């Protein structure tokens, strides 16, 4: 694969919709002594800084969501439903509460390690979908926790978690309503790479 180049702060200093769309095709990287994992981003959701009751920042800054109000391009990680971590990035101008949720990746490198992190034994090719197609799944595959990664600067390739780009053409983008929310559920703020088999959910599986 081509060399990965980290993204600059300006990339993230735009609207959540714009950042969510532009992140498709970019690569999430986890590197540490024990791990080197990469996955292409194929599904994201935008959570707006204003007039978005589904955003975690909607009720103002708290201890939990404070990263969203900090500089853009930092990892906001929260724990949900008693079992899952989810990865977001802050975006927009500092002081506003915009964010983008990472919903699915296409596994590229470190697949064996991802399977081990997920507690899965890979049998068929279809099992690759179980690794990173879903926000809780991708976080588990990449070993992402709030204690380890919250507030990590995703623009710095010297840190353990960051985002790179390799010139991959991101392809046609499909926009749909967001998943798993009850407030403002109809707004078209979910972005997916059209036809990519690693997008979360079951419907596309049957089509593919």
Partner DNA sequence: ATATCGATTATCT
Partner DNA sequence: GATAATCGATATG
Which residues of this chain interact with DNA, rule CB under 7 A? Answer: 45, 47, 54-56, 59, 62-65, 78-84, 86, 88, 99, 101, 103, 118, 130, 134-138, 178-183, 200, 202, 206
- Of 86 and 193, the one with the shorter C-beta distance to DNA is 86
Strand partners, 44: 102, 191
Angstrom distance (rounded) from CA 149 to CA 143 = 9
- Of 78 and 157, the one with the shorter C-beta distance to DNA is 78
- Of 83 and 158, the one with the shorter C-beta distance to DNA is 83
Angstrom distance (rounded) from CA 138 to CA 198 = 11
Closest approach, Cβ 7 to DNA, in A, equals 20
DSSP conformational letter for 114: H
- Of 33 and 202, the one with the shorter C-beta distance to DNA is 202
Closest approach, Cβ 118 to DNA, in A, equals 6
Taking CA 185 as the corner, what is the angle to CA 100 and CA 78, rounded to the nearest 5 degrees? 40
Helices and strands (H, E) in the chain, number of each type:
7, 9
Closest approach, Cβ 61 to DNA, in A, equals 8
């Amino acid at each position: 694969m081509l060399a990965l180049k980290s993204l600059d702060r300006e990339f993230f200093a735009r609207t959540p919709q714009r950042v969510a769309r532009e992140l498709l095709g970019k690569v999430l990287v986890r590197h540490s002594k024990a791990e080197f994992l990469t996955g292409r981003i194929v599904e994201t959701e935008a959570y707006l800084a204003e007039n978005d009751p589904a955003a975690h920042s909607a009720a103002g800054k708290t201890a939990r969501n404070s990263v969203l109000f900090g500089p853009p391009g930092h990892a906001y990680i929260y724990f949900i439903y008693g079992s899952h971590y989810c990865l977001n990035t802050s975006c927009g101008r500092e002081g506003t509460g915009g964010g983008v949720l990472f919903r699915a990746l296409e596994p590229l490198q470190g697949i064996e390690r991802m399977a081990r992190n997920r507690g899965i034994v890979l049998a068929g090719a279809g099992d690759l979908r179980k690794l990173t197609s879903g926000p809780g799944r991708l976080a588990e595959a990449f070993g992402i926790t709030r204690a380890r990664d919250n507030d990590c600067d995703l623009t710095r390739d010297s840190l353990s978690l960051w985002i790179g780009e390799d010139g991959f053409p991101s392809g046609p983008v499909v926009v749909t309503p967001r998943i798993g929310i009850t407030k403002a559920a109809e707004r078209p703020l979910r972005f997916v790479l059209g036809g990519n088999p690693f997008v979360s959910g079951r419907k596309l599986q049957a089509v593919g």
